[in-house]
Amino acid sequence: MTQEKFSLPKYFQFVQSYPEAFAAATCALLVIFSWFFLQLNLIGLALFILAAAYVIGGYESAKEGLTTLWSEKELDVDLLMIVAALGAAGLGLWQREYHLIIDGAVLILIFAISGALETFAMERTERNIRKLMGITPDTARVIINNQEKQVPINELKIGDLVLVKPGELIPTDSIIFEGNSTVNQAPITGESLPVDKTVGDEVFAGTLNGNGVLRLEVNKSPESSLIQRVIRLVEQAQTETPPSQRFIEKFEKTYAKIIVISGILLGILPPFLLGWSWETTIYRALIFLVVASPCALMASIMPTLLSGIATGARQGILFKNGAQLEMIGEIKAIAFDKTGTLTTGKLQVVDIIPAKDKSEKEVLELAASLESCSEHPIGEAIIQTAIRKNIQWRSATNVAAKTGAGITGVVDSQIILVGKENLIRSEINTGFNSQLLAESNRLQKQGKTVIWVAKEREIIGIISVADTVRLEAKKMINQLKYLGIESIVMLTGDNKQTADTVAQHLGINIVYSELLPEDKLTVIKRLQQENKNVAMVGDGINDAPAISLATVGIAMGSAGSDVAF
């Protein structure tokens, strides 16, 4: 088993898949060995190993630099780095100062590591885009002449009827033709609660159907669906070059030209103008190339960036690369997703208000009796609260879910209703006292969802559930303001009332609600026009395009964070 695990074919497969990483690792080992042999005064062996380090580590940079020179007639820092490294090697051989040859190898190693990290980042981007594509099923159940047929998603046509059973992912954007259900749209829109859907409502690909059976009519081609637009937005945002990066790239080309031309002039003119010997002239020209190489600057910056990256890792923060760490210091505005970022992303029971002469225990016990038979997120929140309070609920019979309204059942031969106000009103015409109605209205204005509990024809009380704010969120917002962040913005696909309640609690003044992923992208672009450097913090798939476009994208949490990153 051990031999199979470390077999040569897998080793060669790694080399083939990650040639830049292999080159960087090999170059690093060769540099270390060469230094060791120099200490032992084995000069010939050390020089041979250093030559191999130059070739293996510098191959990609030399190829890119020469390709740019040949095809675009431009000089870039890759070519300048190779010239500087060769200059250092030449100086070392000339002056028999072999440590200079190692310095040149270290410059090559830095570029080799940079190339390997860039490759890893690009592959991660491609992998995450594939994850986005994997959110939707590969096939759909199409109804043709009252018969079900599995059809590949890309073969769906406008007007096709698609059957979606309980618990299945919706295959493409469409309109409900028949049936009703609750749909969990959190991965796409960021809404914290499942949304009630009925005939005529639009549903999105990649969202999760609840307990109802839906017949859908395809109203747009699969490639025009919301999730496909998200994928295209992510791809586009990943390839867009920020203005600061365009400036750096332009500066690098100009800088490389100036240094190379200056080096050539310094290697030719001094003997004629200043009377230097050719030996002194060439020596000083090579020194100029080595010192003027931007690798010297990179070598001074790298330890600081690595220290910051290592410190972040110990705190559970992973940086994509050193540039992201550097750009964070320039951020002037931060946009936060709400659900799962500023909030926990999970529903919790917040209030239990019993009717007169009733107790919280009785309200929670009756609600748990019915909700123990339900898989709805609200029911899960009620059950978890009952468990936490050590409440033993009784078994319910004849339990029936009323899609979009609530649930009914029988406990101890008594009919129990647990659901929204309209369900209770349809079953009970009396018993709505003003106190509970006032409390219900108050709670709903706070963005909470109110569940009524009734026994036979008597209302027992109400329970409110909500996606609660993270305990550390308010402190974090205040600290960001103290650090000088000029604009703190909240973006969410949730409704305005809920969004405003969370923002007010946290002290956030700028709120954008009821947003689709492309709307978040538009807000980020607007903030960049106003503030230039903008960070976007999110945790879901719906945040991915905005995170990709922002000056610094910050993916957090667990649900969808890989894709968001």
Q: Which residues are catalytic?
A: 337
> H or E segment at 456?
none
Query: What are the φ and ψ backbone dihedral angles of 122, each rounded to 5 degrees?
Result: -65, -40
Instruction: Identify the DSSP state of 340.
Output: I
Cβ pair 171, 140 in contact under 8 A:
yes
SS3 74: coil
Burial class (CB in 10 A: 0-12, 13-18, 19+), 335: buried
In angstroms, the CA 157 to CA 146 distance is 17
- Report residue 416 as tokens: 């129990």
Task: List strand residue ranges (DSSP E) for 211-312, in order.
Answer: 214-218
What residue has token string 């609750």?
182
- Report residue 58 as tokens: 């510098």
Cβ pair 166, 181 in contact under 8 A:
yes
Q: Which amino acid is at 530?
A: E
Sequence-separated (6 or more) residues with CB below 8 Å from residue 297:
none
Task: For the sheet with 181-184, list strands across it.
Answer: 195-197, 181-184, 208-209
Cβ pair 527, 521 in contact under 8 A:
no
